Each structure stands twice: as C-alpha cells, then as structure tokens.
Structure 1
C-alpha cells in the first residue's frame, strides 16, 4: 500500500533550497517553476522558460503571509481578469521582489502539503480528493521524466 503522506514529503523535498523562479496559470491551474530558468524551444518552435522543477496545482490552494491569505484558488475561480491579476500579484511577491526560496515541506493527509517559503510565506495545498480528479503534480523539466501526481487525494500509482 502506498503511503501518500510519505510520498508527498519525499517528492516535494526536492524543492527545498530552490527559489520560486516562475509563476503562471493555465485556466484555473496555478503553475510554479523552481530553480534557475532556462530557455527551451517547444515542438511548435516557440520559446518558453522552465525551471528545474514545475508544480501544477488544480485543487484548492492558498498563499499565506503571517497567517493572512494573500492569494487563493478562489481568486482564480472568480474570473479570467481576477486570475490574471492574482497571477501577477503572486509573481510580484515570490519572484519580482527578490528570490523566494523553499525552506521546508510539511506533508499532510490525502495529498495535502505546506511549502514554507522565505519571507514568512507559505503555500498551502489542499487536495480536493475527488476520485479520478487530478489535484496537483510535480515534475522535472526533462520531458521524458515521470510526473509525481496526486489524484483524488492519493498518489497516482502510475507516477511512481
């Protein structure tokens, strides 16, 4: 049997010491890059900037600073304009205002996690635990690498 809490801690611990280097979104999914950015050509011939690791969050999340919520999934769910503004606010907080390193990881039950960041901020991931619905994924920028996926509040066994 897979110990979800242990697997979340093990996989997310790879982020400790890395800076948040990119913040974006795809519809209502928050996407974060960690580690130095480098240019990569896509199959379509465009250029994008990728860090060493990417975290894509499709479940409930929030960014806290000194126990105040500074951004959350509900900001993304409000409207396309709200999503754009929230993405920029998060980018300003975590990237533009200087490097924001991952200090620690705390894994919770059912795929939940807390990523402690420099400057007193925390990314809190609250998996929805809806069966067959992806909550979040972590993966290296290598296109051939496996993705670690939390789906329905559990580790997707195909991601191990």
Structure 2
C-alpha cells in the first residue's frame, strides 16, 4: 500500500513538472478565505481565459519546481496555495488573478513565474498592469496606421485639387 501511495505521489510530481515546463506564465496565490461561490467565479474566469487553475500539495509542488529549476519559489509555497497556469499568454494569470483580487481582498498573489523568471507579488502586480500581447499589437498597429491614413488623405486631397484645376 505504501508503494502505491509513493507511485501516486511520483506521478503527481511528474504532472506538475510537465505543466511547469510547458507554461508561459504561472502564478501562485493564497486563496484562503474565498467562499465556494467566489472560488467558482475565479475558476470560471481563468477557464474562459484559457488557463488551468489547480491546488496541489505544497511538498509535491516544491519537488516538481526543483526538478524544473524553479526551486526559488519554495518560500512562497506555504499555507493554502493555488496555481494558475497559462500556456499561451505569459502575463494572463497575473492579470486575471490581480483583477479578481481587487474585488476579493482574500485572494492574495504570492509569486509567479513568467517566461521562466520568478517574480514576487509586488513585481507581479506591475506585470498584471501590462496589457495583453494582442492589445499591445493592436495599439502598435493603430499607431502605425494613423500617420499612413493621414498621408493617404493628404495625397487624395492633392489629387482632387489637381483634378479641379484642370
């Protein structure tokens, strides 16, 4: 029986390790004090944003983190810790959890791993304020498009004035 329990733990550590290796963004949060409705709402928001939200035993998470090279997160793995994982958008877990925490003071961001770099809660809040990649690209393209559009309008006005002169 003990051997089976050990195998289950090894399998769980392997699962966490694989998630950490594939993840672009990971955020650890203290969820203690959230009621069932709040937790369900948070899970729904994360799922809609394409993220996973898990609670693992801290000891198993620590073992997996060390195997992947994230051993520095061990001090943040105390007490009730939930993990939000994004495989696409590195800053999405920080944004979604931070936005949720504004209305639900019991949720506390502890630390995060963004593109293999570990950040504490203060730095995570700064990262959470950065718009998503898609928003940044849209803003960039909009800033490029505006001068081109104005230039096209000027050229059109010049051609119309030349036509009216003839």
> Which structure would you say has the larger Rg?
2
Structure ranking higher in strand proportion: 1
Q: Tell me if TM exceeds 0.5.
A: no
TM-score, normalised relative to structure 1: 0.28
- RCO comparison, higher one (Cα < 8 Å, 6+): 2
TM-score by length of 2: 0.28
Which has more helix, going by share of residues?
2
